[in-house]
Amino acid sequence: MSEKTQKKSWFKGLNSEFKRIIWPDKMTLAKQTTAVVCVSVLLGVIIAVVDFLVQNGVDILVNLG
């Protein structure tokens, strides 16, 4: 099989896979996007709080010595 035929076959397979995708409707997409943003913000806040606590804990330990 030539390289050109392989590329054609690959793109044909890719096209058939894209036809099988079930794309979400606008409402589902909006709900999932909102969930991802909320979880990302929540994790960012948790990481910031833990970072703040660890930083202050280290500062306290350093100043004791």
Residue ranges of the domains in the chain?
24-65
Residue where the block lists tokens 């909320």: 38
Distances (CA, A) of 14 to 6, 8, 11, 18, 35: 12, 10, 5, 6, 30
Residue where the block lists tokens 């054609």: 8
| Cα within 13 Å of Cα(65), Cβ side | 4
Q: State the pLDDT at residue 57.
A: 93
Q: Split the chain (65 residues) into runs of 10 and give each run's mean pLDDT.
A: 78 91 95 98 98 95 84
